[in-house]
Amino acid sequence: MKNWKIAFTVASALLVPAMFTTSAEAFSLPYDGSDPISTGCANGAITARTASVSGDTTVELRYSAHCNAAWARVRITGHNWAAGAAEVRRIADNTSYMCNNLSWSSNLGAYTCYTAIVGDLNNRADAMGLVNEGGQNLQAWTSSY
């Protein structure tokens, strides 16, 4: 009986911390840091949340149920801007990715960039958009999804 108690105590000491770990490795998923288009995750993705940064700038939190992944995309339809960016953040461990390489998308009718993916299985993510208009930095966060 005494040996059984020792074995149970040792096993518990090894398993319990692993079950409740909150390190970045616990949240890291296969698509972390990947491109949503080249992985195919953008196919069938939805715009889960949006936030208005300014009158002509919107940030979107994109989500792929197929990949359990999220990313951010900023869309700027006007021409009165100097710079723009987007950031996606996995809330559980603050893993985030940014983009600021805006290019014209004729499909969207806007200047846009999108971030790399954060794995989102059993987690939540949000997105931030940033634009510099007339020398003023404006930003907005989406709600989480």
pLDDT reported for residue 104: 93
User: How many domains, in total, are found in the chain?
Assistant: 1
Q: How confident is the model at residue 78 (pLDDT cuts 50, 70, 90)?
A: confident
Give pLDDT tens digits for 18-51.
Answer: 333 344 444 557 889 999 999 999 999 999 999 9
Tell me: pLDDT of 136 over 80: yes
Q: Is residue 73 part of a domain?
A: yes
Average pLDDT, the chain: 84
Q: Is residue 26 part of a domain?
A: no
Give the residue numbers spanning the domain of 46: 31-141
Give pLDDT tens digits for 51-66.
Answer: 999 999 999 999 999 9
Q: Which residue has the higher pLDDT, 145 or 3?
A: 145
Closest CA to 22 of 83, 84, 95, 82: 95
Which residue do the tokens 């715009």 mark?
Answer: 47
Q: Is residue 21 part of a domain?
A: no
What whole-number distance in Å separates Cα of residue 55 and Cα of residue 52?
Answer: 7
Rounded to two decimals, the pTM is: 0.79
What whole-number distance in Å separates Cα of residue 30 and Cα of residue 118?
Answer: 9
CATH (domain of 43): 2.60.40
Q: Is residue 7 part of a domain?
A: no
Q: Is residue 80 part of a domain?
A: yes
Tell me: pLDDT of 2 over 60: no
Q: Is residue 2 part of a domain?
A: no
Give pLDDT tens digits for 7-21.
Answer: 434 444 443 333 333
Q: Is residue 125 part of a domain?
A: yes
pLDDT reported for residue 13: 42
> 3-class secondary structure for the chain?
CHHHHHHHHHHHHHHHHHHCCCCHHHHCCCCCCCCCCCCCCCCCCEEEEEEEEECCEEEEEEEECCCCEEEEEEEECCCCCCEEEEEEEECCCCEEEEECCCEEECCCCEEEEECCCEECCCCCEEEEEEEEECCEEEEEECCCC
